[in-house]
A and B are shown apart, each in its own frame.
Chain A
Amino acid sequence: MNYDIVIELTYLLSAVLFVVGLKRLQSPATARAGNALASLAMLVAIVATLIDTQILSWTGILAGVVIGGLIGGIAARRVEMTDMPQLVGILNGSGGGASALVAIAEFVANPAIGAGTTGVTIMLGTLIGAVTFTGSFVAFAKLQGIMTGNPITFPAQNWVNLAIFVGVLFLGAAALGLAGLGAEPLTLFTIFLAGALVLGVLIVIPIGGADMPVVISLLNSYSGLAASAAGFVIGNMVLIISGALVGASGLILTQLMCKGMNRSLANVAFGGFGGGAGVDRAQIGKRPVKSADAEAVAAELGYVNSVVVVPGYGLAVAQAQHELRKVGDLLVARGVDVRYAIHPVAGRMPGHMNVLLAEADVSYDKLFDLDEINDDFGSTDAVLIVGANDVVNPAARDPGSIIAGMPILDVDRARRVIVMKRSLSPGFAGIDNDLFYMDNTLMFFGDAKESMSELVREVRELA
């Protein structure tokens, strides 16, 4: 058999393993094996490439692998589950950056490539990869608190971005010799690259903190598309296939996140949402509420049949997931049915809360998404909301509200609602939450972790 065919068949095997590996992610029971299968697929593709490629010097390749492996390995081992969105942000960025570098190197090797297929795919790969790279690092900086999580906006922002985008496309075309600017292709390409890098920054800065799940998902999709583009550049099918899989995955998650907020992608990307524009902030939190201490809350939770816990980003910030699980365990030991209701956009990335609760050893069959649990709130005795706000705001049912139509967890239908929160301050949407002032609501003020520890003690003391 022809040697090339063996290599191609090995790549095909790798592509099949990627698909099968992803398929196993359809159940928590098989997901770990699926991930192992995908890692195997990667190894197969890498080995095939190493055999197939005439490698003159191993030093550089090994240096790259060792440096990258150490950084990636240490980050993966050390990262806190609460910081997962940041890590995924960095990983997206480095994946996009790697794809961009592949395209860039191909251009540098032959700047007079012209506007053929390879030339065009080089430009696409560079553009998508570069945008993913800087965009991801801005997302990281926002999530990590290095820069403000609020939207950064300036006048005519979308027009400026559009102008830069058109300029970048024009420079890309010029670098391929489609427009005579009288400059060297390599010079034009360098400006093109710089423009693409700036564009990545500008696209992400107007997007606020709680919209990060959308941004992370979208950049995830881009990192896949960048890999696909790199595949077109070097004519490698396994890159095209794997990139397409990731592109599809990111896009699906992006759509789900937008649906979870009832907003279009355009609204998230260009809206500069957040910070409560047009809301009279002075009126927020001025109405009387009923508050309760840990002892009273323990009594509300300990003597009923069913409790649903609604975790939000505040749980992650306070790192209160372990204490929450202890409360859950104590309640279960008392015969209470305890379940967890997770809104699609709770936290800073898709599935963020599920990972936190899994880390705290909550059984995954107790985690329910919005569609699964929303009808049950009417027959729930008590709901415990930990650090969530907008996703339980009944204002979403009011057509006049800025969050109108957003799917919410119908916690107000439960007999008793307990809100664990620092203060009455508004959530990301910047609007007041009527839930806090309802007759069946008790506010349990304080830091989620401290409050939860007190709650552990008080539930233990219940008769």
Chain B
Amino acid sequence: MGELMIGLYVFVLATLAGREVITKVPPTLHTPLMSGANAISGISIVGAIVVAAGAEGTTQTALGIAAIAMATINVIGGFMVTDRMLSMFKKR
């Protein structure tokens, strides 16, 4: 089985797992869910590091660094704002 097929299996099963887990998130938490999920999509920082580390030439280096910066905005901003929001949800 080629790497593409393995990747596809993983993708489809992860989508189903995500569906199961996320369907049960109550509407009251939908905004933090979205910002938290958003932070997780900043996982492309891993790809950005790989690109920046192996960059040959100015164009590729610039692309890699820009990718890292954008992914970091996503990761740091996403997790921090999610935490800030969730800290406000209190039961009195």
Contacts of A45 in B (CB 8 A): 43, 46
8 Å CB contacts to B: which residues of A51-65?
53-56, 60-61, 63-65
Interface size on B, residues (CB 8 A): 82
Contact with A along B62-84 (1 / 0, CB 8 A): 01111111111111111111111
Of the candidates A68, A235, A355, which one forms a contact with B31 in the assembled complex, judged by CB atoms under 8 Å apart? A355
Contacts of A99 in B (CB 8 A): 41, 44, 47
* A108 x B59 contact (CB < 8 A): yes
* A102 x B77 contact (CB < 8 A): no
* A61 x B36 contact (CB < 8 A): no
Interface of B is mostly: helix
Of the candidates A31, A69, A88, A239, which one forms a contact with B89 in the assembled complex, judged by CB atoms under 8 Å apart? A31
Contact with B along A177-198 (1 / 0, CB 8 A): 0000000000000000000000
The total number of A-B Cβ pairs within 8 Å is 380
* B27 x A351 contact (CB < 8 A): yes
Can you name the residue of chain A whose Cβ is closest to the Cβ of B72?
A: A68
Tell me the bound Cα distance from A228 to B4 in angstroms. Answer: 12
Given contacts A88-B35, A91-B38, A344-B27, are A361 and B90 in contact (CB under 8 A)? yes
Contacts of A217 in B (CB 8 A): 34
Tell me the bound Cα distance from A105 to B50 in angstroms. Answer: 10
Can you name the residue of chain A whose Cβ is closest to the Cβ of B59?
A: A108
Given contacts A64-B68, A72-B75, A73-B77, are A46 and B83 in contact (CB under 8 A)? no
* B18 x A248 contact (CB < 8 A): yes
* B63 x A68 contact (CB < 8 A): no
User: B53 CB to closest chain A CB, in angstroms?
Assistant: 4
User: A194 CB to closest chain B CB, in angstroms?
Assistant: 16
8 Å CB contacts to B: which residues of A1-58?
15, 18-19, 21-23, 25-29, 31-32, 34-36, 38-39, 41-42, 45-46, 49-50, 53-56
Can you name the residue of chain A whose Cβ is closest to the Cβ of B66?
A: A101
* B49 x A72 contact (CB < 8 A): no
Contacts of A102 in B (CB 8 A): 44, 47-48, 50-51, 67
Tell me the bound Cα distance from A236 to B28 in angstroms. Answer: 33
Contacts of A369 in B (CB 8 A): 26-28
User: A281 CB to closest chain B CB, in angstroms?
Assistant: 33
Contact with B along A226-269 (1 / 0, CB 8 A): 11101111111111111111111110110010000000000000
User: A406 CB to closest chain B CB, in angstroms?
Assistant: 16
Is the C-beta of A333 less than 8 angstroms from some C-beta in chain B? no
* B32 x A98 contact (CB < 8 A): no
User: B52 CB to closest chain A CB, in angstroms?
Assistant: 5
* A42 x B42 contact (CB < 8 A): yes
Contacts of A15 in B (CB 8 A): 14
Tell me the bound Cα distance from A350 to B36 in angstroms. Answer: 13
* B4 x A95 contact (CB < 8 A): no
8 Å CB contacts to B: which residues of A367-397?
367, 369
Is the C-beta of A75 less than 8 angstroms from some C-beta in chain B? yes
Interface residues of B (CB under 8 A from A): 2-4, 7, 10-12, 14-19, 21-56, 59-61, 63-92
What are 14 A-to-B residue pairs whose CB atoms are below 8 Å?
A21-B36, A22-B37, A32-B86, A32-B87, A63-B65, A68-B75, A88-B35, A105-B63, A231-B7, A243-B44, A245-B14, A247-B15, A248-B18, A355-B85
